[in-house]
Amino acid sequence: MLHYAVVFFVIALIAALFGFGGIAADAVSIAQTLFFVFLVLAVISFLFGQIKRD
């Protein structure tokens, strides 16, 4: 999932470079959403991994 966030961020940078503001803004918002979902899932996975060891 982090890979998809990076891909959308790169798409946003390329779109912004060529002047496609709307597409760049959409790609940035998708990248942000995917990144935060990744962070939440990573923290949950870490916490459940620590609980399982105890």
SS3 18: coil
Q: What is the distance between the alpha carbons of residues 43 and 53, in angstroms, rounded to a whole number?
A: 16
CB 38 within 8 A of CB 2: yes
Q: What is the mean pLDDT of each run of 10 residues along the chain (54 residues)?
A: 82 85 84 91 89 71
- SS3 string, 37-49, reads HHHHHHHHHHHHH
Res 44: pLDDT: 92
Res 23: pLDDT: 81
